Amino acid sequence: MIYLNHPSVILLAVPAWFAYRRWWPGRGPHGLVRIAVAAVLILIAAGPLADAPDRGTTVVMVFDRSRSMPPAADRFAKDLIRRAESEQGQQDLIAAVGFGAAPAVELFPRAGHPPETSLKQIDREWSNLHAGVGAALELIPRGTRGRLLVVSDGAADDELSEELTAQLRGRGVPVLFLHGTRRSDGDAAITALRCPAESDAGSESSFDFEFTATEPAAGSLQIRRNGEDLQSQPVELAKGVTPFTWRDKHESTGVVRYSFSLNVPNDPTVENNQWETWVQVRGTPAVLVLNADGDESPLVTLARRSGASVEVVAAKRGDLAPERLGGYAAVLLDDVPSSELSPASMQAIVQHVEQFGGGLVVAGGPNGIGAGGYRFNLLEPLLPARLRSLSAFERPPQAIVILVDPGAWESSADDSDEGMSPLQKAVMKLGEELDVADRLGIVATRSSDPVLMPLASTAKMSDVRSAVSEFGLSNDPTSFPRALVAANDMLAKASQPQKHLLVCVSTHQIASWQALGSDSKLASPQSNTTTTIISWGTPPEWWSQGVVGKSSKSRLLSTSDSNQLVDLFRQDWELSTGGSFVDRATAMLAVTEAGLIDPAIDSERLPTVGGFHPATLRIGSRAALVRRDSVTMPLTAQGERGLGRTTAFLFPVLQGQSSDAEWDLVSKLLAEQIAWTARLDRPERLPLAVARDAHEVTVSLQLTDVDVARLPGSGPLQLVAADTNTDVSKGGSPVKRSFRREGDSLVARLTLERTSSIVPVIERGGAFIARCAPVALPRSREFLSSVSPARGRAVLEQLADLTGGGEWTEEMPLFDAPSRANRSLVALLAWIAVALVLIDVADRRHQLLDRLESDWRHRVARPATSAEAKPALVTDPTQDAFNQAKERTKQRLKR
Amino acid sequence: MYFANPSGLILLLFVAAVAGMHVLRRRLPVRRVAAVFLWGTPAKARSPGAIRRADLSFRPGSLVCDVAVVVLLAVVASEPTFDDAGGPGSDPWSSVLLRLALGAAALAILVLAWRAKDASGPDSVNRDAS
């Protein structure tokens, strides 16, 4: 059935007919084409429609995933999707969008499309409702029926834009909403806390709270300091606002983290009962020494001699949060292996030095620096000296056999770089590191001969390249035991005094082969052989508890980052060769900054150190002590990295056999270097103030008490705010703000957008000036400013009103009932019109219709005329051919 | 504004067909004719050969008109719709007026082409040729 949306438009045919007759009449088929074109155009304007099958409804559910939603919101969302799937008709489509800081499609209408949430996580600290609605609208195809069902508390961080308003009005997609709110009765909260951001050591700070409660209640305030429970204070809450004060005395300098938790029974929203704040305690600058056991050591004595207040902690137990580190002038790593520092701790140290302007002193020894696996780790770029491997003259040659299960690393394959997988690249890089006296063998788990490369020198890298190119060919993980035997045989036959077996397997294989964890051969096949097992993914716990894990000659490493593999291989090899620590006594020589022998220090009186780490100075660094037998090799190195300073003592800081006088001379030198690194020579305290008001942080510098011109650096002062969540290894850079003069102060402002804290640092032209106390939002921003349920509902109602929607209740259907649908015929008629125009053009240019008419007449009319003409021609056979032609012409003219 | 049926823009391909019909000439069969008319007056010397030359001359104005008509119809076929045009299935007057305007423009341009054609008269040599 065909309908016209606007049949009255057909009346235009009347004036069109008169216009045709008057101005553009055509004869015969020409006229018919013109009339047809005009008729089709009038029909198009009338909006012709035909019956069409129902195309269903697209329902897009928009879920608020922010923290402010009730705890059951996620479960409700799942139930709602399940219900929609059960009610879905054949032509209906379902989609789901979740929003927090940004919207993410959780369920696409098209089946088989993976959700966006599989790739990115929703930041629940924000609630950008309107962005979520805009994203959901895009999922409904234009011209189809659809609706949005928004499940939210209406506490939106973004505004309704004009663009979205126009879209909502124009699309005709109704917005239905379900207002989800938390129960407010019985709610208690910490609404404000006033306390100083900075305080002096030995003084007492007052913490003035403001509690609110919807009804009287009794509870307690749990207080934690630096993550440890301090005390619990009973609290009586009246209806409305209840003030409360607590005091604490600051014993030592540093940064203190206070966490407060208000515990009230049956509180429906416990998230707004939390409050966290940082207080920086000023006093004698403190340094943090991390060593093996947290006891006194010669380096601790040196640090004390430098004039700093010293805190000694065992490296494994140290709280290396970036904010806490900000309270120390410098961090001292006393012969600490990198395995005792977590990646997060190393990140914190890097950030402390580069972005917070802190100091780092690294002291060597048999466990630290190169021997501690510092090469190729996060801390290495901070060191003022570049570590180097030992040559075969400085250590015994080594035979290393690499046993790989290439199938285990397929998931990490990346053919983009030189056509090699990360595993192949790692083996190649390791081959380049080896000395000509070393030998490398490669064994793989494969069904044929497992030996890819017998023990050979890596002088010819082409052999290594051809061996690694065979990874994966006829790979057979079940042949692992055979490959292990082959690897052990190779090592047994090796003539090198040091032997190392490097095994690369998958967690999968470890789990499926229980014997691996307790394989005594693998743990220590020979007395002079060490073993390292690197697994892809985290190995099972039982495995590290087995023989291999407990053996002193075995190391268990795991990674899930294919790019880390190259560094893991090289680090492991470095450690297996003794970690580039030369355990040999060497004499010291004092030099000036220019590298000349320091005439002020009698080098003969300097002690002999028990060993050293071979290294070369980096550009811009300087050495005060070098090896007497190799003056290009520094024993101490100092340099600047980012805003901070670093110093390396490339020898074990031990008195050893040296006399007190000798040790005293060198310890004075070293203490001076610690003082330089920790900036103890510049104890000036700037009149800085840090204040937070909601999300805005203001840092002000009182000009009446400081001469800005005398501060280090040149150019204008800048505030650098580094987020403590920044991944410095990936190049995260801090936010910079300029200071403006306001009265007697220089003021810079920042906005806190995340829950993580920031450490404001003042610098000028790249020179560090001062570090402020850490500042952070006291709790999740979703619970900082409370939005009343009525206001949230108003936001949702505004969206619904724009689109003709309303509140949705669970009794209402999700989809529209199937209805009669129409299909527009405008496109079809337009095609017909174009066809007619083409005919018309062909007629005007090439006489198409005339030719067709002529052909038709020739075929249909000619037999009749020739039948009539023929008798005339034969009537007078005496006529000549000329007369016959004249006759034919006359007859034709008559027609 | 958006296109409810963007596939309608495929009709723009027919612009090439229209241009082709305007630009390309049909190769006519060679006819041997008497040359006596060359001695007559030019007015009377109308022959099919003369007609063909006039007919196959390239007319840019006509080409532009025909191309414009095809473009307008392609736009009509793609069903331009205003954002405030309401939901699916609705056909408010804004869309009707747009279609009407496009259709009227197409017809007006066609009429121009027809009138230009008719200006040479129905009895023109062009018609007589066939």
Rounded Cα distance, B79 and A668, in Å: 87
* pLDDT the model gives residue B16: 93
Residue A743 tokens, joined:
């009265």
Rounded Cα distance, A344 and A35, in Å: 81
Collapsing DSSP to helix, strand or coil, A824 comes out as strand
- Beta carbons within 10 angstroms of residue B102's beta carbon: 21
Among A64, A180, A76, which Cα is nearest to A133's?
A: A64
Among A494, A486, A432, which Cα is nearest to A459's?
A: A432
**Among A172-176, A181-185, A290-294, the least confident range:** A181-185
Note the ipTM here: 0.77
Please name the residue of chain A whose CA is at the shortest distance from the CA of residue B77. Answer: A827
| Average confidence (pLDDT) over A338-366 | 90
| Interaxial angle between packed helices A660-677 and A298-305, expressed in degrees from 0 to 180 and rounded to the nearest 10 | 60
Residue A419 has pLDDT above 80, yes or no: no
* pLDDT the model gives residue A667: 87
Q: What single-letter DSSP state applies at residue A769? A: E
* pLDDT the model gives residue B54: 39
Residue A152 has pLDDT above 80, yes or no: yes
The per-residue b/e assignment along A241-271, b for 16 or more CB within 10 angstroms, e otherwise, is: ebebebebebeebbbbbbbbbbebeebebbe
Among A53, A132, A133, A146, which Cα is nearest to A93's?
A: A146
pLDDT digits (tens, 9 = 90+) for A255-285: 999 999 999 998 888 889 999 999 999 888 8
* pLDDT the model gives residue B49: 46
Distance from CA of A179 to the nearest CA of B (A): 25
Chain B residues within 8 A of A170 when measuring between CB atoms: 82-85
Residue A297 has pLDDT above 70, yes or no: yes
* pLDDT the model gives residue A542: 62
pLDDT digits (tens, 9 = 90+) for A842-879: 888 888 888 888 888 878 765 555 545 555 444 555 56
Contact B88 A144 (CB under 8 A): yes
| Confidence at A816, pLDDT banded by 50, 70, 90 | confident
* pLDDT the model gives residue B52: 42
* pLDDT the model gives residue A234: 93
Residue B81 has pLDDT above 90, yes or no: no
* pLDDT the model gives residue B107: 83
Give the residue carrying structure tokens 């329902």.
Answer: A59
Distance from CA of B55 to the nearest CA of A (A): 7
Chosen from A834, A855, A857 to mutate, greatest number of chain B CBs within 10 A: A834
| Average confidence (pLDDT) over B106-115 | 81
pLDDT digits (tens, 9 = 90+) for A643-682: 999 999 999 988 776 777 778 888 888 999 999 999 987 7
Is the overall model pTM greater than 0.95, yes or no? no
Beta bridge partners of residue A760, listed in sequence order: A721
* pLDDT the model gives residue A145: 83
Query: A145 — contact with chain B (CB < 8 Å)?
Result: yes
Query: A845 — contact with chain B (CB < 8 Å)?
Result: yes
Please name the residue of chain B whose CA is at the shortest distance from the CA of residue A830. Answer: B77
Please return the burial class of A858, using the count of CB atoms within 10 Å of its CB with bins 0-12, 13-18 and 19+: exposed
Residue A414 has pLDDT above 60, yes or no: no
Chain A 846-865, residues with CB within 8 Å of chain B CB atoms: 846-847, 850-851, 853-854
More confident residue, A789 or A143: A789
Q: What single-letter DSSP state applies at residue B28? A: P
Q: Phi/psi at A261 (nearest 5 deg)?
A: -140, 120
| Confidence at A361, pLDDT banded by 50, 70, 90 | very high
Element (H, E) at A852: helix A848-860
* pLDDT the model gives residue A891: 84
Query: Highest mean pLDDT: which of A385-394, B8-17, B29-38?
Result: B8-17
The per-residue b/e assignment along A442-469, b for 16 or more CB within 10 angstroms, e otherwise, is: bbbbbeeebbbbbbeebeeeebbeebbe
Query: A41 — contact with chain B (CB < 8 Å)?
Result: yes
* pLDDT the model gives residue B51: 42
Phi-psi region of A743 (alpha: psi -120 to 50; beta: other; left: phi over 0): left
- The pLDDT mean for chain A works out to 84
| Average confidence (pLDDT) over A782-805 | 87
| Confidence at A212, pLDDT banded by 50, 70, 90 | very high
pLDDT digits (tens, 9 = 90+) for A474-531: 777 777 878 888 888 888 888 888 888 888 877 666 665 555 555 555 545 556 788 8
| Confidence at A543, pLDDT banded by 50, 70, 90 | low
Do A799 and A177 form a contact (C-beta atoms < 8 A)? yes
| Interaxial angle between packed helices A826-846 and A848-860, expressed in degrees from 0 to 180 and rounded to the nearest 10 | 80
| Average confidence (pLDDT) over A32-54 | 86
Do A624 and A638 form a contact (C-beta atoms < 8 A)? yes
Beta bridge partners of residue A762, listed in sequence order: A719, A770
Distance from CA of A827 to the nearest CA of B (A): 4
